[in-house]
Amino acid sequence: QALVPLFQVSQAAAELQQYCMQNACKDALLVGVPAGSNPFREHRSCALL
């Protein structure tokens, strides 16, 4: 712990907020996942009787 540099909380919070704002467009929870590229979606099958 002695080698860990110390930062002011206000500076760290400002940097974290800036990082979040810059990367918000890449966040799947905020933007959503396109239906075609969602790997967790169940694939539909077509069966003719």
**What CATH number should be reported for the domain holding residue 2?**
4.10.260.10
Domain containing residue 8: 1-48
Gyration radius of the chain's alpha carbons: 21
Instruction: Give the number of domains in the chain.
Output: 1
pLDDT score at 41: 72
Provide the 3-class DSSP secondary structure of residue 49. Answer: coil
Which pLDDT band, with edges at 50, 70 and 90, does 13 fall under? Answer: very high
pLDDT score at 47: 67
**23 HSE (CA, 13 A, CB side):** 9
State yes or no: pLDDT of 48 exceeds 70.
no
State yes or no: pLDDT of 20 exceeds 90.
yes
Lowest pLDDT segment from 7-11, 21-25, 26-30: 26-30
